[in-house]
Amino acid sequence: MNLRLKSFHLFPNTIRVTLTFASDTEASIPVEIKHANIHSATVAEIEQLAIVEAKKLIGD
């Protein structure tokens, strides 16, 4: 499964991320990442954390 970062929104102690499938940009997976130091993460780190959480949700 190849997921990519589509967008993210910052909230206190939470980032809401939307991922898309590389093969289908219309299908998306919303993910919330809650971490104390998340606001100091790079975009690449946010994307990787979101992919890990999405795979947990869909059982991959």
Q: Are 9 and 3 a contacting pair, CB within 8 Å?
A: no
Q: Where are the domains of the chain?
A: 3-58
Q: Are 20 and 42 a contacting pair, CB within 8 Å?
A: no
**Tens of pLDDT, residues 3-30:** 999 999 988 878 899 999 878 777 889 9
* 23 φ/ψ sector (left φ>0, alpha ψ -120 to 50, else beta): alpha
The mean predicted confidence, pLDDT, of the chain is 86
CA distance 46 to 60: 19
- Helix or strand holding residue 6 (H, E): strand 3-11
Q: Answer yes or no: pTM beyond 0.85.
A: no
